[in-house]
Amino acid sequence: MRLDWRTPYRYMFRDPDWKPKIFVGGLWLLLFPPIGWPVALGYRKEALFALVDGRRPLLPPWRRQTWRFLREGLKAEAVILVYFLPFLGVFLCAATGGGATLAAHATELALFGADVLLLLPICLPLLPPLYWYLFGWIHLSWPAMLAVGALFWTTTFLMPAAFLQVSLTRRFPAAFRIDRVLAFVVGNLAAYLEAWAISIVATAIGLALGPGAPWGIFWSYLVIVHAFNEALTAGRGYYQDSER
């Protein structure tokens, strides 16, 4: 089953209030990044459930919902952090050699951890190379660099499938059913790769908007939700077969 490449980019425009809703989301990302990222993640979760349930309006309203979006977004960030803990652990061990180096640079590493927690969606891919560039005490051989990079990109690749488990069960702990995550990706690989391609294009468009990037990124979150929901729909037959 081939995915629809047009609808993910424009379905949100069918909501009569799409302009103020996207404007508020982008404003959160622009003005309050540490809180804005989880708020956007929580909004994305509700937008996904609206798609799955066929709700109207297409986009969730903001009024009296912000705290709920923040709460649900923090749960999503917790899932992301747990998934990336192996990557962060391997990076720190490979880059420092452990032991004495970790103790000698505890302040810098504490700042590293704080940055990850405050700006989780954007810091994970940026912080390790930034620390490698800024601090001479971080050393990575080329084999270690390749291994760390492979672990990061493998985790990133599987992350949407983990959140699709949340879509299916409405429970965040379901994201840690690694067996089902892998089963979905392997059993529905073509649609999953297409959803990733749609998402990468949307993210590139969002970032290319320059000063409008916060709103572009928020829009791209909605595109990503729709694309992977399409992949989920394509894989429902596989899930039904695997549950028998």
Q: What is the mean pLDDT of residues 28-53?
A: 90
Q: What is the mean pLDDT of residues 11-28?
A: 96
Q: What is the mean pLDDT of residues 170-178?
A: 93
205-218 pLDDT, tens per residue?
998 999 999 999 99
In angstroms, the CA 46 to CA 144 distance is: 39
Would the pLDDT of 153 be above 50?
yes
- When pLDDT is cut at 50, 70 and 90, the band that residue 10 belongs to is very high
What residues does each domain of the chain span? Answer: 7-243
49-89 pLDDT, tens per residue?
988 888 888 999 999 999 999 999 999 988 988 898 888 78
Find the Cα–Cα–Cα–Cα dihedral 26, 29, 32, 36, rounded to 10°: 110
Q: How many CB atoms lie within 10 A of CB 65?
A: 15
Alpha-helical (H) ranges within the chain are: 7-10, 18-31, 33-53, 66-96, 100-104, 106-118, 120-134, 142-169, 178-187, 189-208, 213-234, 236-243
Please report, rounded to a whole number, the percentage of residues in the chain having pLDDT higher than 70.
80
pTM (predicted TM-score): 0.85
216-233 pLDDT, tens per residue?
999 999 999 999 999 988
